[in-house]
Structure 1
Amino acid sequence: MRIPGPEPRADGGVGAVAAAGGLHRYQLWLHAEYGPVVRFQLPGAETAVSVADPVLLEATAHIDKRPERLFEFLAPLCEAGNLQVLPTAEHTPWRRLLLSVLAGRPSHERHFGQFAALATDLADRWAGQGDREPVALQKDLTTLSLRMIGAYALGGDAADPDKVVTAFEEVLTEHLGRLYQVPVPGTEEERARRAAQALAHLRATVDRVIAAHRSGGRTDRSDLIGALVEAGERPARIRDTVMITMLAAHHTTGVAVSWTLHLLGRHPEVAERVAGELDRVLGERPVPDYADLRRLPYLDMVVKEAMRLYPPGPYGARETTEALVLGDYEVPAGTVIFYPFWAVHMNPDHWPDPEKFVPERFLPEEVAKRPRLAYIPFGIGPRSCEGAGLAMVEAELVLAVLLKRFRFRPAPGHEVTPIERFVLWAADDIHMLVSPRVA
C-alpha cells in the first residue's frame, strides 16, 4: 500500500514548510491531514516518511544510522569526521564512553556545585534589576546553559570561560545562520574570518585542557575530557566531542527552562504548587543539593509536561538500512525516517486534550497507561541524546533556584510564537516580569 502524503512540488517542499510556519508546524498539519504515517518532501533529503504513532515507532527504534545530507551543516565543526553520522561500528563504542560519563551520578554530583553557583549568579542579577522591566528569558537562560555546559565539557579548566562562551556563539551564529538563512552583520568574508578565529580559539582551549590532563595523569571518569584521554582518543576526536557536546546542550536546557517558566506564568496555580514543594523540601535553603532533586517529583512532572508541549529539539531523523514494515506500509532500505517529536507529543490518541498543560500526566500510573515512545523529547534508540540525564539535572536545578526566589508573570502585550531554529525557539524571546516571592 502506498504511503499517503501531499503531491510532490518542484521546489522540493521548501514552500510548503515555509507556508506552514516551519517544519515543526508542517508536521502537525501533515499528520492531522494524512494520518500517523506520512510521505513528504523533506528539504535536503528529497522524500521522507514521518511517523507520529508511538507504537509504529517501535519498528524503527533499532536504527543506528543518520541521513548524512541532513547533518552536513555540522561538518565544519568536526576535524575527525562528523560525529553525528559516524558509522555504527565507530559510533557504538564512542556512545558507550559518553554514556559512562554523561549519564552517571558521579559526573552530575561533581559538577552540581558549579552549576548551582552559575544559576545563583543569574538569580542575583535578576533580583538586582527589579520587576519594572521584563526579563528576556531565552537570552539569559541560554547564556546560562552555555556557561554550564562549557564548564562541564572543559572540566572547569577553561582559563577564560566568558571568552569560550563568546567564541562558541560566534561559531554558531555563522554556521546556523547559513542553515536557516538568518541575516548576520558583516560581509561573508568577515563572518567567515570571525568564525574561523573563534573555532581556532575553542580548539586551542580544549588542547590546553587535554595537555593538563595528560601531564597531571588525571583519570576521573566523571570528567568528559579525562575519560576521553584515558580511552586513548586522539586530540582531534576529543576536540570534536567537546564541540558537539556543547552544540547539543548549549541551547536545549535554557530553552526547556524558558518554556517551563512561560507555562508556569500562565498557570499560577501550578507555579504555587511547585513553590510549595520547594519550600517543604528545601526549607530556608535557597539552593537544592543534588539529592534533593529526587524529592521534587512535582517539579519533575512540570518539566516533563513542558517538554511534551515544547520539545527543545522538535524532531529527529534516521535512515533505514533494510526494509521494514510500519503498520500497513512497507518502507524500503535507504528511506529517511522522520521523527516529528512535537506531533508525537500532540497525538490525541495518547494525550487527551493535548494542548492543555497538565503535569499530572506524568504521575507513574498515568505513564504506565501510555506506549513507551509516546514521550520522546530526547529522541529514541541508539542515536538518542546521551546527555538526557544531565539535561534534566540542569533544568530542575535552575528551576528550583529560580522558583524558590521568584514569581514569573507574562509581560503585558508580549506574544510568544514558537519557531524552529535548531531548537524550538520563541520568535521574539519570552518576556516575563520577575518579582520576589516574599509577601
Structure 2
Amino acid sequence: MTIPGPQPRPDGGVGAITAAGGLHTYQLWLHTEYGPVVRFQLPGAETAVSIADPVLLEATAHLDRRPERLFAFLDPLFESGNLQVLPAEEHAPWRRLLLSVLAGRPSHERHFARFTALATELADRWAALPDGGPVALQKDLTALSLRMICAYALGGDTVDPDGVVTAFEEVLTEYLGRLYQAPLPGTPEERAGRTEQALAYLRTTVDRVIAAHRSGGRADRGDLIGALIEAGQSPARIRDTVLVTMLAAHHTTGVAVSWTLHLLGRHPEAAGRVADELDHVLGDRTVPEYTDLRRLTYLEMVLKESLRLYPPGPYGARETTEPLALGGYGIPAGAVVFYPFWAVHLNPDHWPEPERFRPERFTPEESAKRPRLAWIPFGLGPRTCEGAGLAMVEAELLLAVLLRRFRFRPVPGHQVTPIERFVLWAADDIRMTVSPRVRQG
C-alpha cells in the first residue's frame, strides 16, 4: 500500500516547509491533510515517513540510528564526532554514563538546595521590578536553567548565562538557516564570522568550566565532568559532552516553564488551583523541599499538559536499517522515520479537543486510557532524552517557587507565536507581568 503524501517538489520540500512557517507547523498540516502516516520530502533525506499515531509508533520504538544528514548542521559544534548520531555500540555506554549522573534521585536531592537558591534569586529580582515588570520569560528562565545545569552536572556556576544563550542562538540560527535555506540578515561572510566568533566563545567557556573543575581537584562521579574523567573519556569528548549538555538542558527546562506560565496566565482558574495546592502543601514555607514535589500532583498535571501543547523539542528522527512493516505500509531500509511530537500530542483520536488546555487529562485514570507513546515530549526508544527526569524536577521546582510568590498575567497586546528555533520558541519571547500573590486564609 502506497503511503499518502504531497507531490514531490523540485526544491526537495524546502519551499513547502518555509511556506508553512517551519517544519513543526508543516507536520501539523501534513497529518491533518493526509492522516497518521505521511510520506514527505525533507532536506537531507531521500525517503521520509512521518508517524503521528502512538500505536503505530510502537513498531519503531526499537530504532537506534539517527539520520546523519539531518543532524549534520550540528557537526561544527563537536570535535570528537557529532554526539547526536553516535553509532549504537558507542552511544550505549556514553548514554549509561550520562544517566548515571542525570537520572538518579539521590543526585537530584543532593542538588535541590542549590536549585532552590538559584530559583529564589530570580524570584527576588522579579519582585524588585517596578510595576510588576514586565519580564521576558524565555530570556530569564533559559539563563536560569543554564546556571542550574552547570551547578548540577558540571560542578559549578562559572559561566555568563546570557552570553552563552546568545552564542548558542547565533550558531543554531546560522546552521538551521543553511539546512532549510532560510533567508538570514547580513552577507554569508558576515554571518560566518559571527558564527565562528560565537562558537569560539562557547568552546572557551566550556574549557573554563573544565579547568575550574580540574583546579578543584575533584574526581566526583556525581558531576558530569568527574564521571567523564573517571571513565577515561578523551578531552575532546569531555568538551563536546559538556557543550551538548549545556545546549540541551538550558533550552528544555527554561522553555517548558515559560510555556507553562504562559498557559496559566491565560487560564486563571487553573492558576488558582495550583496556588491553592501550593498553599496547602507548603504551609508557611515559601519554597518546597524535594519530597514536596510528589504531593504537588496538580502542578505536575499542569506541567505535563504544557509539555503536550508546547513540547520544547517538537520532533525527532530515526533511520531504518532494514525494511519495516507499519500499519499496512512498507518502509524501506535507509528511510528516515520522522517523529512529529507536536502532531502526536495534538492527535484528536487520543486527545479530545486537542488544542484545549486541560490538565485533568493527566490524572492516573485518564493516563491509563491512552497508549504509552501518546505523550513523548522527551522522545522514545533508546535515544530518549537522558535528562528527562532532571528536567521535570527542575521545572516543577521553578514553577513551585514562582507560583508561590507571583501571579502572572499576559502583557496586553503582546503576541505569542511559536516558532521553530531548534526548540519550540516564542518569536518575540513570552512577556508577562508579575505581581505579588496574596495568600488567602
Q: TM bucket by the smaller chain?
A: over 0.9
Equivalent residue, structure 2, for 1:421 = 421
Residue 159 (structure 2) aligns with? 161
Report the Cα offset of residue 44 of structure 1: 2.6
Following superposition, the deviation at residue 171 of structure 1 comes to: 4.4
* Per-residue deviation, residues 8-45 of structure 1 (Å, max 9, x unmatched): 00111111111112111111111111111000001232
Distance 2:210 2:274 in 1: 43
**In the alignment, what sits opposite 1:198?**
201
Q: Assess if the C-alpha contact under 8 Å between 1:54 and 1:372 holds in 2.
A: yes
TM-score normalized with structure 1 length? 0.94
Q: Which amino acid aligns with 2:159?
A: P
Return the alpha-carbon distance in structure 2 between the equivalents of residues 98 and 133 of structure 1: 38
Partner of 2:171: 174
Alignment check: 8 A CA contact 2:101 2:153 kept = no
Report the aligned-residue RMSD: 1.8
Q: Distance in 1 between matches of 2:410 and 2:428?
A: 13
Aligned to 1:26: 26
Cα displacement (A) at 1:293: 0.7
Q: After superposition, where does 1:314-353 map in structure 2 within 5 Å?
A: 314-353=314-353
Most deviating of 124-133 and 276-285:
124-133
**1:110/1:222 contact within 8 Å kept:** no
1:244-302 C-alpha deviation (Å, 9 max, x unpaired): 11111111111111110111011101001001111111112111111111110110000
1:144/1:254 contact within 8 Å kept: yes
Deviates more, 1:336-345 or 1:189-198: 189-198
- Conservation of the 8 A alpha-carbon contact between 2:45 and 2:335: no
Q: Which residue of 2 aligns with 1:109?
A: 109
Q: Which amino acid aligns with 1:234?
A: S
Report if the CA contact (8 A) 1:5-1:38 is conserved: yes
Q: Distance in 2 between matches of 1:260 and 1:196?
A: 31
Contact 1:344 1:375 in 2 (8 A): yes
Q: 1:9 aligns to what?
A: 9
Distance 1:333 1:63 in 2: 12
Judged with a 3 Å threshold, the aligned counterparts in structure 2 of structure 1 residues 230 and 132 are, in CA distance, closer, same or farther, namely closer
Residue 193 of structure 1, CA deviation: 4.6
TM-score by length of 2: 0.94
Contact 2:302–2:359 (CA under 8 A) maintained in structure 1: yes
Residues 38-47 or 54-63, more deviating: 38-47
1:242 and 1:86 mapped to 2: Cα distance?
A: 16
Give the Cα–Cα distance (whole angstroms) in 1 for the partners of residues 323 and 47 of structure 2.
16
Q: Is the CA contact 2:31–2:38 (under 8 Å) kept in the aligned structure 1?
A: yes
Paired positions, count: 433
User: Secondary structure of the residue that 1:131 maps to in structure 2?
Assistant: helix
Matches of 1:138 and 1:192, distance apart in 2: 22
Match of 1:435, SS state, is strand
**1:315-353 Cα deviation digits (max 9, x unpaired):** 000001111111010101100000000000001111011
Matches within 5 A, 1:134-153: 134-153=134-153
Report the secondary structure of 2:89's partner residue: helix
Aligned partner of 1:82 in structure 2 is: 82
In structure 2, how many angstroms separate the alpha carbons of the residues matched to 1:278 and 1:57? 37
Alpha-carbon distance in structure 2 between the residues aligned to 1:32 and 1:200: 42
Q: SS of 2:424's equivalent?
A: strand
Q: 1:193 to 1:424 in 2, by over 3 A?
A: closer
The corresponding residue for 1:188 is 191
Partner Cα distance (2:102, 2:289) in 1: 19
The equivalent of 1:50 in structure 2 is 50
Segments of structure 2 that go 5 or more residues without pairing to the other structure are: none
Please list every run of 5 or more consecutive structure 1 residues that lacks an aligned counterpart in the other structure. none
User: Secondary structure of the equivalent of 1:69?
Assistant: coil
Change (3 A) 1:99 1:189: closer
1:120 aligned onto 2:145? no
